[in-house]
Amino acid sequence: MSNAPQFREFKFGVTRAERSERNGHVYLRAEQELGAYPVRMTDRLQHWATERPDQSWMARRNAQGDWVHITYAEAWQKAQSIGQALLNHGLTVERPLAILSENSLEHALLMLGAMTVGIPFCSVSTAYSLMSQDYGKLRHVLETITPGMVYASDYAKYGKAIEATVAKDIPIATNSRALRADNTPATIAFDALIATPVTPAVDAAMQAINGDTIVKFLFTSGSTKLPKGVVNTQRMICANQQQIAQCKPTVFEVPPVLMDWPPWNHTFGGNHDFYLVLFHGGTMYINDGKPTPALIGETIRNLTEIAPTVYYDVPIGFEYLANEMKTNAALRKNLLSKVRMFSTLARRWRSRFGIRFMNPKKRIGLSNPHDFWFGDDGIEPFRPLRHECECESRRPWPARARLGIEACQAWR
């Protein structure tokens, strides 16, 4: 009998595509029709709040290192209160919510609250506030979306950037009250938002939401020029999650549990991961670690304690973990206890790094949007095809993407 680990089959939901050629390009189109999806992503929140009220939706460590959880029932109640508070402050599609924060429980609840009542939000890259000297990109983002409220997770950290870019008549919400440098009262306590009494206006606003309602403004990285706004609608987000579910049904045979660090100002963490958990009634643990020498230790600590059912990362992150698992038996056992993995990727991890998988028949390993091959120097992405090709998805939304100030505002 072979001693090689046995891995459960990873089934792909979409395996056939239609091929066509136009203007010298090859197009592939999935043969499978897109299944039904909800009109509003908050429909899924409301559903899980009823079906699994006491299940954890989101968790993050507090200052003492303990996990603080928010259940689906709590998330739904607080989202409605936040939505009411945003309506009370006059926020609209023309005056959305800007969020200056790392991934946090408050950040997550604000996204749900805004989405519940059809008010767009924008999670702004923290680097624009904390690393910039002139706040040029932050100023550009705020001028583009014209916010009616700005949330800052910590006014001591973000206050300088806010005072340089946000007008004094714009309300600022934060985790605790603070004063501007000129001693002007500046903030609304976050606790006041989640304590706002809910009125019928919340349900009326929610019922008015349709597939074209804007959920968020997502900005490009701006690595070469100023960031461009990308409009994300309810139809885009809901349909995309249905696409993911149909492509990788094996991943969602059980409610997903994620240990996740990608920032929510980026589509990886803020769309794929965040809404994946909500769509399938899973649990997200916010990982304050990063795939860097200084912060990988926190990721290792978290993954040694919490076993995810699916784990997403960038290539260097997998390399850090693979190297750590050579000598860290606790990490190796816990990380690979529930996660789902392409069997080819599992075999590569074993052959390249000498990793053996405990009770392999019960474990299915890691799933990532991208596969990897292992060269002499570690993990590298699969090399691209030698010929040019394009992929065309059956997306039920118009192909509007990167927008400047005028186009972004014209959409609204």
Q: What is the CATH number of the domain that holds 398?
A: 3.40.50.12780
CA–CA separation, 291 and 295 (whole Å): 7
131 and 89 housed in the same domain: yes
On whether residue 342 sits in a domain, the answer given is yes
Boundaries of domain holding 285: 248-381
On whether residue 13 sits in a domain, the answer given is no
Kindly compute the dihedral angle of the four CA atoms of residues 147, 148, 153, 155, in this order, to the nearest 10 degrees.
100
Query: Looking at the DSSP assignment, which residues form a beta bridge with residue 230?
Result: 218, 402
pTM: 0.83
96 and 196 housed in the same domain: yes
Residues 6+ apart with CB under 8 A from 185: 177, 179
pLDDT averaged per 10 residues in sequence order, the chain, 412 residues: 55 82 84 91 97 98 97 98 98 96 97 98 96 93 95 90 91 76 68 97 97 95 83 94 89 91 95 96 97 96 94 89 90 77 51 42 32 29 33 46 45 50
On whether residue 299 sits in a domain, the answer given is yes
351 and 398 housed in the same domain: no
pLDDT score, position 183: 55
Which helix (H) or strand (E) covers residue 274, if one does?
helix 274-280
CA 324 to chain centre: 26
Provide the domain count of the chain: 2
317 and 281 housed in the same domain: yes
On whether residue 16 sits in a domain, the answer given is no
- For the chain, what is the largest distance between any 2 Cα atoms, rounded to a whole number of angstroms? 76
66 and 129 housed in the same domain: yes
254 and 167 housed in the same domain: no
pLDDT score, position 356: 41
- The tokens describing 141, both together, are 């983002």
193 and 77 housed in the same domain: yes
pLDDT score, position 12: 78
Using CA atoms, how far residue 261 sits from 125, 285, 286, in Å, is 14, 9, 6
pLDDT score, position 186: 59
311 and 279 housed in the same domain: yes
On whether residue 20 sits in a domain, the answer given is no
212 and 257 housed in the same domain: no
286 and 195 housed in the same domain: no
pLDDT score, position 340: 55
